Amino acid sequence: MYALNAGTGRKLWNYETGDSIDSYAAVASGVVYNGSKDDYVYALDAKTGEKIWSYKTGADVESFTSVANGVVYIGSNDNYIYTIGTIAAPQPLSSSSAGSPSPTVPEFPSLAIPLLLSIIMAVGGLLIYHKRKVFATA
């Protein structure tokens, strides 16, 4: 992942994940959220590129990332839509072996929605776009 200066195009920072990235990032409250083919969702400090947290899903993460009302929405190729509570700053490390803060993650199966979800937040609900079809919730 790379961050560039919008005016000059100069590289500000980069962050290497365990595999390639085929998803689209979202930025909210100074945090960059993105998924990777290494099965993880990442939260990085937008100014420094430092990892705040990561969360392992069940498969490649190749979808649009959306953030609304303090929640990150992202789809994984494991047929789940992940809704992850945002953490805007590094938290004290726990005694767990994970080594980074753990976001709140209720998992919802995407049921009949195929792989490679693209998620877009809309007023009054959640729109999920995949292969030219739109699914909506109120």
What's the pLDDT score for residue 24?
87
CATH of the domain spanning 2-137 = 2.40.128.630
Q: Are the C-beta atoms of residues 11 and 43 closer than 8 Å to each other?
A: no
How far from 121 is each of 8, 41, 102, 106, 138, CA to CA, in Å? 31, 18, 23, 18, 11
Q: What is the pLDDT of residues 58-90, one digit of tens each?
A: 999 988 888 888 888 888 888 888 888 875 544
Q: Which residue positions in the chain have pLDDT lower than 50?
A: 89-102, 104-124, 130-132
Write the CB contacts of 80 (distance below 8 Å, at least 6 apart in sequence): 57, 58, 107, 108, 109, 110
Residue 114: the pLDDT is 36
